[in-house]
Amino acid sequence: MKTIGVLTSGGDAPGMNAAIRAVVRTGIYNKVRILGIRLGYEGLIHGNLDDMEVSSVADIIHRGGTVLQSARSEDFMTEEGFKKALNVIDVYNMDGIVVLGGDGTFKGAQALSKAGIPTIGIPCTIDNDLAYTDYTIGFMTAVETVVDAIGKIRDTSSSHGRANIIEVMGRHCGDIALFAGLAGGAESVIIPEVEYDPEIIMQKVINGRNRGKLHHVIILAEGVGNSFELAEKIENVSGIETRVTVLGHIQRGGTPTSFDRIMASRMGKKAVELLLENKSNRVLGFKCNEIIDLDINEALKQKKVFQKELFDITEVLSI
């Protein structure tokens, strides 16, 4: 293993830079040349890459985003695009590749491994939606951003005696809403994993008001549906003014938490070590407080287990 490429693909996640740093420095420590591929698989197709030195990753451990930039490449999934990528890998004598991203990124890693290029995946997505691992890098930072927003919105919610819906990201997964809702003490958490009845939410808003509660914060995961429609219903039925805040991409940026940096450092180092052991088609994860690695095909087959216990806690504590 003389040369390893590293790329970040799909939606960025805080902690990606810390993982890039770990890959680069572990590689150089082991006398491996590291090539930083820009813009994910798109950059691989076009040979958009550069040598990474120890100093290339100085001063990035605390920064959100990704210094390698990211993209969702459709061309890479075409036969022609994939062939071009293989050619670039050959021209630059890459012996292995580390990819950082979510399930889409891992499908690319699967294809590369199948084509004989040793490839290792590091789970980086704010969504925490990968079934085989308890944790994906970036998740806790996104949760902290939402918790911060809940505190601020609760202030104004109380001042005006309103109900406030905060729509958060997560694609089809409710983890950001669930964890942030619990930590932020939201009155209601609406997630795709649990069917919800708007009538019950409205009743909760009304009951709260009758008890003299001034604020009402509802966290709604984007995978559930339209928050503006729900706001209109609440307002019409309860007579309580209801506002919507769609947090959007603010959840994708910002300084990664210490936990995200530590996960990224551990997984980045381990990814290079796996390649040095001639392993391929594997993804890293976090289970029972340990860094694990498993076959990508096995990992992608797993179905995410919903943590109902956490949801039940939010229900009990928000009466």
- Which residues sit at the interface with ligand F6P, rule CB under 6 A? 11, 102, 125-127, 169-171, 222, 252
Q: Which residues of 50-84 are buried (b: 16+ CB within 10 A; e: fewer)?
A: eebeeebbeebbebbbbbbbbbebeebeeeebbeb
Q: How far is the C-alpha of 5 from the C-alpha of 95, rounded, in Å?
A: 8
Strand partners, 294: 283
**CB of residue 129 vs ligand F6P: minimum separation in angstroms?**
8
**CB of residue 66 vs ligand F6P: minimum separation in angstroms?**
13
**CB of residue 168 vs ligand F6P: minimum separation in angstroms?**
8
Of 47 and 253, nearer to ligand F6P (C-beta) is: 253
E strands in 113-263:
119-123, 163-168, 188-190, 216-221, 242-246
The catalytically annotated residue of 51, 59, 90, 127 is: 127
Evaluate whether 280 touches 113 at the Cβ level (below 8 Å): yes
**CB of residue 285 vs ligand F6P: minimum separation in angstroms?**
17
Of 100 and 126, nearer to ligand F6P (C-beta) is: 126
> Is 155 marked active-site?
no
Q: How far is the C-alpha of 191 from the C-alpha of 168, rounded, in Å?
A: 10
Of 14 and 184, nearer to ligand F6P (C-beta) is: 14
Q: How far is the C-alpha of 71 from the C-alpha of 45, rounded, in Å?
A: 12
Catalytic residues: 127
